[in-house]
Structure 1
Amino acid sequence: MTMRLKKTGLRASLLGLATVAALGGAALAQDRTELGFATSSSGGTGYMYAVAVATVVNEDSPDLKITPFPSAGVVENDRLLRGDEAQLILHTGGQAYSSYRGEGKYPSAFTDLRAIMPIYASLVQMIVPKELESKTPGELKGKRVGLGEPGSSANTYVRQVLKAEGVNDGDYDARPNSLTEQVAGVRDGNLDALTTVMGSGAPALQDLATSRNVRWLSVSPETLTAVMGMNPPGAVVPVTIPAGTYAQQDDNVQTFGVPIWIMARADLPDAAVTQIITRFLGNMDRAREVHPIVNGTTKDFVAGATPPVQWHPAAAAALSEMGYSTLPFSQ
C-alpha cells in the first residue's frame, strides 16, 4: 500500500537495479521520486488534505508522485516514517515533540524527524446524542465514550480533556473505535459520545449531524488551560467552531485545535521538499476544489505555528519564497 522513496543515493541505485531486472530498462525512461504519505482515518480531513496536496503536486510534476494512504493515527505514522514505510506523514505538534525527544510513547529519540510545513489545526470535537443529559465532558463519567483508535490524536487529547474534568481512565466505558465505528455507534444508540480530532466540517460528521439529533460539547477555559499545561508550547491552541458549521449546531462551540504538520525524514531530498511546498501553495485554487480544508493553511497560521522539531533544510526557504513567514526551532 505504501510507496518507497526512489532515486536517492544508494537506495535509488538498488531500487533502480531491481526495477531493471523486473521490468526492463525501459521502465527507467523517466526517473521519478515516489513518496508514500501516511495520513489519518479515511473519513478524516487529514486524509482529504493529503489527497489535495498529492493531487496538485502530482498534476504539476513529471518527476514526483505522492500516494496518500489512511492510517490509525500519528503514532502509527511516526512508526511508518521511522521504518521508511512512509516518506511523508501527518504529525501533531505535541506528538512530534515527544517523538523527537524519545519521550512518552516513543522509546527512542527520532532526531531525524523534520518539519515540512504546518497545514491546519485539527479540532477536538466531542459529540453526543441530543437527548443525553451530559452537558460537559466531565459529565461523561460512566458513559460509553468513543476515543478513536489507539495511537490516534483523539485517544490522546480527549483523555486529557476528561482527566482535566476529573474523569480518569476506568471511570467510563472507553471504546477505542475508528471514526466510522463511532458514527455508526452514535447513530444506532450503541455509543454515548463520539470524540475525534479532525478539521471543522468533516464529511463524516456532517453526515452524522443530518441523520441523528446530536450536539457538540464545549471545552471550558479552565479545562483548556489544564490541557495546555499537559502539553509542550504550541501543541494546542484555542479554537471556536462557528454556529452553523454543522446541521443543528445553533451555537458556537468552544474547543481547541491541534496544529497538524507535514513531516519527513532529514534525508528527504531538498528538491522534493521544495516541489511539494511551491507546487501546493502555488495551486491553492485547485487544492480547494479537492477539499476546502486547505483554507486552513493561511499565512497567519503558518507564521504562528511553533515548530516542535527542526525544519527540513529546504522547507523554511521554500515557505519564505512563497511569502510565508516561519518561527525558528528552539530546543
Structure 2
Amino acid sequence: MLAKIEKGIQWTVIAAGVFLLSGLIGQVFLTLPPNSFTFLTGREGGAYFLDSQHYKKIAEEKGFIVNIVPTAGSVTALQMLEEGKGDVAFVQGGVAAQGNPEIVSSLATVAFEPVWIFYRLGLSPETPLDTLPQLKGMRIGIGEAGSGTNQLARQLLRDAGIDDNNTTFLELPASEAHDALRDATMDVAFLVTDTESPALRDILVDKDIELVDLRHADAIARRHRFLTVLTLPEATLNLVNVSPPTDIKLLATEANLVVR
C-alpha cells in the first residue's frame, strides 16, 4: 500500500543513483584521496541513512570506498560538510540554501520529502486539527536538534505565532515519535521524511494517530519557495477502510545531494 504513496510523492532514489554518482565523481573525487569519500547522513535507520546504503553499493561496484557517517540531520551534516568532515551529504531543502556557496554546492535534488504532522486521536474531539495555530500550547515533537525537521518545524510554527514561550517543544528523533504519541507524552509530531522511513510507516498504520490535512498548505508554500504542496489521495493507505477518508494536502520539501 505504501508503494502507492511513493508513486505519487517520491522520485526513485536508486534509479537516479548511477547518474548522480557520475556527477559526484566528476565534481568531488578530483580533490579526494584515491577511491574514497565520506557520506554524511541522518541517524541510523532513517531515510537518509537507508538511501545512502544504495549509493554506497553503487559506488563500491565502481571501485570506490565509501565511509558512511550518521549525524543528527541536515543542519549538522551541512555544518560538518563545510568544516571538511565529509565530502557529500543528503541535506533537506531550505537548509541546503544556507550553505556557503564557496565551499559546498547542491549536485541534484533526489526526492520529495513530505512534512507529516500527526496528532493523537481524540486530542481535538470537536474539530479536526487542520491549521498550525491550533497547535499552540500543545506538546509538539519537532525533531532532534541539528536536524532539518527541527529547523523547518520551528520556522512553520513561528509563522503561526508558536514558539518556546507559549508551547512545549520536544526535540526527539523521529524514531521516538511514535512511542511518545502512543504514551501520550507528546500531542503532535512533525516528521520530514520520505516513505522509506520505518518511523513513518509505524505511525501511518496506527489507527489511534491522525494525519493533519493542512488547510493552509498552499498559502504556506507561497511564503516559502523551497516548499511545495502534494496530495495524498483518498483511500491510498487502505482501500477497504477508505483511509484516508478524503484527499489530504501535505507540504513537502526536497532532499538534495550536496557536495564539498
TM-score if structure 1 supplies the norm length?
Answer: 0.61
1:86 matched residue in structure 2: 86
Matches within 5 A, 1:205-224: 205-211=200-206, 213-221=208-216, 223-224=217-218
1:135 counterpart (118, 126, 129): 129
TM-score if structure 2 supplies the norm length?
Answer: 0.76
Residues 1:77 and 2:80 are matched in the alignment: no
Residues 243 and 204 (structure 1), Cα distance of their counterparts in 2 relative to 1, 3 Å cut: farther
- Distance between the aligned counterparts of 2:162 and 2:113, measured in 1? 23
Aligned length: 225
**Greater relative CO, 1 or 2 (CA 8 Å, sep 6+):** 2
Residues 244 and 205 (structure 1), Cα distance of their counterparts in 2 relative to 1, 3 Å cut: farther
Describe the SS at the equivalent of 2:123.
Answer: coil
The amino acid of 1:132's aligned partner reads L
Q: Residue deviations 1:197-233, cap 9 Å, x none?
A: 1013532121233345111112224x5424542x4x4
2:41 counterpart (31, 39, 42): 39
Matches within 5 A, 1:155-234: 155-200=150-195, 202-211=197-206, 213-221=208-216, 223-229=217-223, 231=224, 233=225
The amino acid of 1:45's aligned partner reads A
Residues 194 and 246 (structure 1), Cα distance of their counterparts in 2 relative to 1, 3 Å cut: farther
Residues 162 and 224 (structure 1), Cα distance of their counterparts in 2 relative to 1, 3 Å cut: farther
- Distance between the aligned counterparts of 2:209 and 2:92, measured in 1? 28
Q: Residue deviations 1:86-113, cap 9 Å, x none?
A: 111111232222223xxxxxxxxx5121
- Distance between the aligned counterparts of 2:196 and 2:237, measured in 1? 7
- Distance between the aligned counterparts of 1:244 and 1:47, measured in 2? 29
The answer to whether the 8 A contact 1:200-1:241 is kept is no
- Distance between the aligned counterparts of 1:187 and 1:168, measured in 2? 24
Where structure 1 has 5 or more consecutive residues not aligned to the other structure, the ranges are 1-5, 13-31, 101-109, 266-331
2:102 matched residue in structure 1: 111
1:61 matched residue in structure 2: 62
The amino acid of 2:55's aligned partner reads V
- Distance between the aligned counterparts of 1:201 and 1:91, measured in 2? 16
Task: Report the Cα offset of residue 41 of structure 1.
Answer: 2.7
Q: Residue deviations 1:115-157, cap 9 Å, x none?
A: 2221011111111112210512321111110000122121122
Residues 37 and 201 (structure 1), Cα distance of their counterparts in 2 relative to 1, 3 Å cut: closer
Task: Report the Cα offset of residue 254 of structure 1.
Answer: 0.7
The amino acid of 2:91's aligned partner reads H
Which has a greater percent of strand?
A: 2
The answer to whether the 8 A contact 1:41-1:70 is kept is yes
Residues 1:257 and 2:256 are matched in the alignment: no
Describe the SS at the equivalent of 2:89.
Answer: strand
The answer to whether the 8 A contact 1:128-1:186 is kept is yes
- Distance between the aligned counterparts of 1:209 and 1:35, measured in 2? 35
Describe the SS at the equivalent of 2:151.
Answer: helix
- Distance between the aligned counterparts of 1:195 and 1:93, measured in 2? 16
RMSD of the TM alignment (CA)? 2.5
1:151 matched residue in structure 2: 146
- Distance between the aligned counterparts of 1:7 and 1:172, measured in 2? 46
